[in-house]
Amino acid sequence: MLKHTRTSKFLSFHEVLIPELRRLTAGAASSPQFLPATFPFQREEETNEEDDSGLDENSQNIANRSYWARKIHTLCSTPGSIDAALRLIDRLRIRGFRPDSANLSSIIHGLCDAGRSDEAHRRLIFSATSGFLPDDRTANVIIARLLNASTPRLTLSVLHHLLLAKPAFVPSLTNYNRLIDRLCSLPDPFQASNLLTDMFARGRRPNAVTYTALIDGFGRAGLIEDACRVFDKIPQQNLKPNSLTYSVLIRWLMRNKRIKEGKELMTKLWLRMREEEDTTVNSASFSNLIDSLCVEGFFHIVFDIAEMMPQGNCVCEKFAYAQMVYSLCKSGRHHGASRIIYIMKKRGFVPSLVSYNSIIHGLSRGRGCMRAYQLFKEGIVYGYSLPEPTYRALVEALLKEKDLHKAKNVMEFMLSVEGIDKTRIYNIFLSALRLADNPSEQLNVLVLMLQQQCHPDAVTLNTVIHGFCRAGMVDEGMKILNDMLEGKFCSPDVVTFTTAVSGLVDVGRVEEALHFMRNVMPRHYCAPNVVTYNGVLRGLLRLGKIEKSMEIFHEMVGKGVSSDCMTHTLIIEGLCEAGQLEGAKKFWDEIVWPSNMHDDYVYAAIIRGLCRLGKLDVACDFLYELVDSGVSPGIVNYNILIDSAGKQGAKRQAYQILGEMRRNGLNPDSITWRILNRLHEREGVGAAAGSGDDSEVSRTRKEGSTMVEEEEDECAEKNAGERGKKLDDALVNHPLPGFIQEGELKEFEKREKEPLWKLARRVFGLL
C-alpha cells in the first residue's frame, strides 16, 4: 500500500513537471535573443538552485516588470540577500526576462553594500561586453558608486569598456573629477592626464577642481615642474584657479624647498581669497595651507599668519585659529599651539574646549606638564574641565616630575566636579602613584578615601598592594590582603591573589606564595590562571630554582591551565641561563613547538641563550630552520645574531646574516646599523692596537669590503631596474608634451637611483 502511494505521488509530480518544462523550452526557443551566451548576472561558480522564491514566482507573469523590479531591489537592499537576488535573476532569465538599467543598478549597489566591489566591477564589465548597457543616467550613478570603493584602476577599466561599447556616452564632470583625484592619490598623474585629454575629446570642459587634482597628483609624484605647468595652463582654458588650487601648489613648492616661489604664491592667495564667492573653498584652502606649513616645518610662517591674519574676513577667525591649533598639535608642536591660544586671548577670542584639551593632553604626554598645568588653571575661568584621559595623562606626568602638590590639586579639582565617579578618580591617581614608585603616598590616599566616605573597590586595593609589592614592602601589602580576607574591605579577586603571590616569590618567600596559590585561593573561589603561574615561574627562575619551576609548570598543565608564549619564554630563558641547553632543546621539541604557542620573544630567548654560550652557528641554524618551517622571525632575532657575530669578530658571518635578513624581506633598522657601527669601531680599535698583525687586519677588511660591495651591487642593480622601468613608463605614457625636460629627467634619475647603502654610508659612516 505504501509503495503504491509513493508511485502515485511520483506520477502526479511527473505529470505536472513535464508540461511546464515544455512550455518554458518553447518560450525560450521562440525568443533566442533573450539568451546571450555570456550574461553579466551569471554566477561565477556552480551553486545548487534553491526554491526560495515561494509560490509567487511561478504565479506572477513574466511581463509584470514592475513587480520583478521591486522584488530584485528589495533583495539587493536587504543585508545578506544579494546572492538570492542573483539566483532570482538567473531563474527569470530562463523564463525570458531581460533585466533593465534599474535591475543592473540594484545589483551593483547591493554588491557594493556587501563589500564585494571587485565583483561589482567585473559584472559591469561583463555587462558591457555582452551588449547589455545601462542608460547614461544609470551609468553615471553606477560609476559614482564604484568610485567609493577606492579602486580607481578598476573603475577606469569599467569606464573604458563602457566608452568602447557606448561611444556616445559622456561621463559627468563630477565623475571625471573624482576619478582623476583617485588616480592622482596613488599617485598616477599620467593616467589622470589621459583622462583630461579624453574630457576635451568628448566635449566635457574641465573646471578648477580638475586642474587642482592634477596639480596635486604631479606634486605627489615629485614632478613639481609639471605641476607648475599645469597651473600656468589654467588661464589658457578661460578658467581662474580657485584659492584651493593656490594652496595645493604652495604645499608642493614648500616641500621642494622653493620657499621664495611659495611665499610669492601665498601673497597671490590672499588676494584670490577676497575674490572667491564660496567661503567653504576659502576655509578648505586655509586649512590645507596651514596643515602643509606645519607638515613641512615652517612654523614661523604659521605664527606670522596668526599675528597678522592676512586673509582678513575671508576666513572665520575662530575657525582659522582652531585650524592652527589642530595642525600644530598634529605635528607635535603643543607649545606652539599654546602660543596660538595666547594670541587668541589677546585678540578677544575664547578657544574651544576641544582645542584647549588637545593642547593640555599633548603637553602632558610630551614632557610639558608644567605648561599643561598652567593652561589647566587658566582654563577653569572659561569653564574647562579635564576629561578622564587628559586627567590621567596630566597626573602621571606631574608625578613623574615628583610634583605631588600640583598632582593633588588636579585630583581635588576633579573630585569637586558634580556627578563624577570619585572612586575612579582616586583609582587613576593611585595608578599614577604606582608608576612613580610612591607606595607610602598610596596608603595616604587610601586613608583619605576612607575619611571622605569613599569606599575603595577591588581596583583600588589591587593597585595599592601592587605598589607595595613592587617596592619590596610585601608585608604591608599582605596586611591589606588579610583585611580583605577578614571582610573589612571588598573580597579579593584573582588579580589580588596574583599580585600578592608574585610579590612573595620575588622576595624569596616561595612556600608562603605556594600556600596562597594552592590553598587560600581555592577557598575563596579564585582559581589560579596563567598570569598567576607566570608570576610564580618568573620568581622561581630568578632564584635559580629550575626543578621547582618545572614542577610548577607540570602542575599548571595538569590543572588544565594552558601555557602561553610568556610561560615558554620564561622557562627557556631560565634553562639557558642555568646552562641546561639540552633541557631547553627538549622543552622546545616536546612542548613549545607542538603547542604552536611561540613568538619572537620565545625565539629570542633561545637564540640569546645559544649566543651567550658561544654557540653562534647553532643559533643561526635554529633561525634558518624556523624560516624553512614557514615561520617569519622578527628583526630582533637577526639583530641578536649580528651582535653576537660582531662580538666574536666574525665580520663576514655578520654580513651573511644581514644578507639573509634582507632575502627574507626585512630591512635593517636603527639597532642593526648601531650594531654594525660598533663592529667597525671594534675592528678599528683592534687594528690600531695590533701593529704586528697588519696583514691579518688588512685581509679581514678586504673580505668585509668584498661582502659590502656585493650587497651594494645587488641593491644598485635592483634600484636601477625598478626606477629605470618607472622612467621609461613616464617617457612613453606622458600625455602632456614638454612637461618633463631632459635635465630634470637626469636629475630625477640620479635622485631615484641612490640606494639605501649609499645613504647609510653617508649618514653613519659605517660601511
How far is Cα 292 from Cα 248, in angstroms, rounded to an integer? Answer: 9
Give me the torsion for CA of 360, 362, 364, 367, rounded to 10°: -130
328 C-beta neighbours (distance < 10 Å), count: 28
How far is Cα 149 from Cα 151, in angstroms, rounded to an integer? Answer: 6
pLDDT at 98: 85
Cβ proximity of 27 and 96 under 8 Å = yes
Across 91-100, 158-167, 493-502, least confident range: 91-100
> What is the percent of the chain with per-residue pLDDT over 90, rounded to a whole number?
56
pLDDT at 455: 87
Locus of grid cell 657601527? 677
pTM of the model: 0.69
The residue that leads in pLDDT, 440 or 697, is 440
Phi/psi zone of residue 755: left (φ > 0), alpha (ψ -120 to 50 degrees), beta? beta
Round the average pLDDT of the chain to a whole number and report it.
82
Asked whether residue 719 carries a pLDDT value surpassing 50, the answer given is no
pLDDT at 58: 60
How far is Cα 341 from Cα 322, in angstroms, rounded to an integer? Answer: 9
Confidence class for position 30, pLDDT limits 50, 70, 90 = very low
Please spell the DSSP secondary structure of 44-92, one letter per residue.
Answer: SS-------S-THHHHS-TT-HHHHHHHHHHHHHSTT-HHHHHHHHHHH
pLDDT at 687: 56
Cβ proximity of 493 and 526 under 8 Å = yes
> Residue 218: which of 242, 253, 243, 244 has the closest Cα?
253
Cβ proximity of 504 and 516 under 8 Å = yes
Asked whether residue 724 carries a pLDDT value surpassing 60, the answer given is no
3-state secondary structure of 456: coil
Cβ proximity of 93 and 110 under 8 Å = no
Confidence class for position 56, pLDDT limits 50, 70, 90 = low
Confidence class for position 622, pLDDT limits 50, 70, 90 = very high
pLDDT at 304: 94
Q: Kindly report, residue by residue over 76-135, the tens digit of the pLDDT.
A: 999 999 999 999 988 888 888 888 889 999 999 999 999 999 999 999 999 888 888 899
3-state secondary structure of 134: coil
Evaluated on CA atoms 363, 368, 374, 376, the torsion sign reads positive
3-state secondary structure of 416: helix
Asked whether residue 29 carries a pLDDT value surpassing 90, the answer given is no
Long-range contacts of 641-647 (CB under 8 A, 24+ apart): 641/607, 641/611, 641/616, 642/672, 642/675, 642/676, 643/611, 643/675, 644/611, 644/616, 644/619, 645/616, 646/675, 646/676, 646/678, 646/679, 646/682
pLDDT at 196: 93
How far is Cα 683 from Cα 646, in angstroms, rounded to an integer? Answer: 9
751 C-beta neighbours (distance < 10 Å), count: 10
267 C-beta neighbours (distance < 10 Å), count: 10
- Maximal C-alpha separation, the chain: 112
The CA angle 647-589-518, to the nearest 5 degrees, is 105
pLDDT at 688: 54
Cβ proximity of 459 and 426 under 8 Å = no
Q: Is the peptide bond before 187 cis (omega within 30 degrees of 0)?
A: yes
Q: Kindly report, residue by residue over 199-218, the tens digit of the pLDDT.
A: 999 999 999 999 999 999 99
Cβ proximity of 605 and 619 under 8 Å = no
CA–CA distances in Å: residue 432 to residues 98, 187, 395, 412, 460: 70, 46, 7, 15, 12
